[in-house]
């Protein structure tokens, strides 16, 4: 078997077998297949695509290239939730404790952010002394005792994916649906959960800009999960405007806590409740949408989800006083208000512009080595469809001098005001099972 023959086969529209995919992945990880040949193969895949079997086989080979987390020793149903990423997306901070309060086990390995804002781990590190590095023993014990842990990845999970992704990033081959699906699902399968709910973002602030491409990606990932023995479903959710109002790490922690107290933004609460409801249905803990929704809402209203978040902070060494005292979190030195220059209805709040402005302030990373400023970010006060008057507050920029003027201009440009009444997009656009 030669790599060049398999490149030609794929270039001509052929289907790669499991053995051929195994040869290619193992050879690339071992260094026997060079970057230039793998780049050529990736480009051929971008043009010719992969069928469901090829996607499943590629996922499995990337999974088998590294370690896997075995959660079978944990009593209960282990679930996982994954978002394809967006602006102001702090749902894990709400969903994980909410799912735990509903009787599910959330043993979640999360990552750091690259792009607009920090990842889940960066947000949690805004909490003083919060430990994201847990030993396997502590991780498993915590999930057993409080049904919840969100920690950094310690195992060498899917090293083939890391190597392939780095190559895709510099060769213009990131956007092939089959490659994206295999990349995400290799890590999800390795994380050990038996039930996986995917939140696929759609729109201006998402990787997938339109509903058709997002639906294609969601279907591919769901098929991979189900083919490999995991109960998998996906929600397609709107990301034309930021989720909630807070964008930036400490600001998002505050908003997540407010949501767990029952007084957060309605869109964040709606999405979090829906994700947990779907997990309850997928696992069979509830048999109808009405019962699942009621159970999730009850856990939010009775304070049990907030208590799970408090327990997680305490178990992971953090200062749980932040739940009542937000002044313990990092805060920016400077706040600048962005106000409306005209009256009308908010037609657009461009999520990508808000995300890029937050990154300019230091809330996100351009490269993995960049240091994040946990205090900075943006609060969005006006959402699509809102009626506003001249001088009304649109957003507040929280900064520490870095790129402040440029960020403020970018935030101002994100808002589009119309004379006509605007109906905002639905938050949940589709469900794929």
- Out of 116, 123, 168, 350, pick the active-site residue: 168
Q: Is 293 a catalytic residue?
A: no
Active-site position among 81, 82, 90, 201: 82
User: Is residue 32 among the annotated active site residues?
Assistant: no
Dihedrals phi, psi of 31, to nearest 5 degrees = 90, 5
Q: Which residue has the tokens 């282990």?
A: 78
3-state secondary structure 354-419: HHHHHHHHCCCECCCCCCCCCCCEEEECCCCCCEECCCCEEEEEEECCCCHHHHHHHHHHHEEEEC
Determine which one of 110, 183, 277, 293 is catalytic: 183
Q: Which candidate in 122, 161, 204, 267 is catalytic? A: 161
Q: Which neighbouring-strand residues pair with 115?
A: 365
| 183 a catalytic residue | yes
**Which phi and psi angles does 195 have, rounded to 5°?**
-130, 130
Q: Which residue spans within 203-310 are E strands per DSSP? A: 231-238, 246-247
Euclidean distance between CA atoms 380 and 395, whole angstroms? 4
Contact 382, 314 (CB under 8 A): no
Alpha-carbon gap, residue 408 to 267, rounded angstroms: 25
Distances (CA, A) of 302 to 91, 262, 272, 363: 19, 9, 16, 33
The residue count for the chain: 433
Q: Is 195 a catalytic residue?
A: no
Residue 161 designated active-site: yes
How does DSSP assign 166-208, residue by residue? HHHHHHT----HHHHHHHHHHHHHHT--SEEEEEEEESTTSSB
- On the 0-12 / 13-18 / 19+ scale of CB atoms within 10 A, 76 is middle
Residues annotated catalytic, as ranges: 82, 161, 168, 183, 187
């Amino acid at each position: 078997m030669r790599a060049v023959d398999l490149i030609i086969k794929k270039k001509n529209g052929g289907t790669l077998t499991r053995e051929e995919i195994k040869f290619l992945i193992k050879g690339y990880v071992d260094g026997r297949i060079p970057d230039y040949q793998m780049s050529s193969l990736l480009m051929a895949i971008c043009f010719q695509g992969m069928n469901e079997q090829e996607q499943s086989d590629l996922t499995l080979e990337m999974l088998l290239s590294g370690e896997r987390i075995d959660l079978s020793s944990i009593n209960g149903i282990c679930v996982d939730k994954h978002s394809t990423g967006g602006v102001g997306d702090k749902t894990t901070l709400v969903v994980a404790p909410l799912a735990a309060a509903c009787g599910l086990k959330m043993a979640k390995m999360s990552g750091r952010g690259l792009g607009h804002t920090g990842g889940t781990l960066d947000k949690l590190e805004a909490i003083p002394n919060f430990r994201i590095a847990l030993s396997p023993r502590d991780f498993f014990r915590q999930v057993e005792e409080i049904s919840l842990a969100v920690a950094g990845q310690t195992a060498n999970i899917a090293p083939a994916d890391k190597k392939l992704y780095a190559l895709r990033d510099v060769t213009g081959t990131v956007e092939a649906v089959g490659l994206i699906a295999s990349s995400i699902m290799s890590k999800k399968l390795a994380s050990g959960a038996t039930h996986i709910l995917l939140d696929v973002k759609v729109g201006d602030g998402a990787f997938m800009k339109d509903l058709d491409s997002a639906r294609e990606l969601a279907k591919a990932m769901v098929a991979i999960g189900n083919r490999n023995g995991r109960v998998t479903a996906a929600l397609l959710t709107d990301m034309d405007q930021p989720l909630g109002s807070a964008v930036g790490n400490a600001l998002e922690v505050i908003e997540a806590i407010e949501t767990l107290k029952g007084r957060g933004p309605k869109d964040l609460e709606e999405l979090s409740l829906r994700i947990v409801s779907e997990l309850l249905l997928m696992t069979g803990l509830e048999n109808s949408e009405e019962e699942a929704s009621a159970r999730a809402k009850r856990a939010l209203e009775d304070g049990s989800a907030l208590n799970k978040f408090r327990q997680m902070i305490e178990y992971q060494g953090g200062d749980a006083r932040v739940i009542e005292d937000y002044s313990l979190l990092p805060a920016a030195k400077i706040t600048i208000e962005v106000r409306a220059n005209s009256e009308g209805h908010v037609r657009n709040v461009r999520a990508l512009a808000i995300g890029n402005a937050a990154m300019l302030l230091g809330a996100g990373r351009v490269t993995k080595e960049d240091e994040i400023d946990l205090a900075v970010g943006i609060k969005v006060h006006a959402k699509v469809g809102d009626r506003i008057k001249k001088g009304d507050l649109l957003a507040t920029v929280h900064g520490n001098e870095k790129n402040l003027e440029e960020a403020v201009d970018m935030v101002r440009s994100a808002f589009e005001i119309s004379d006509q009444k605007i109906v905002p997009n639905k938050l949940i656009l589709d469900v794929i099972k």
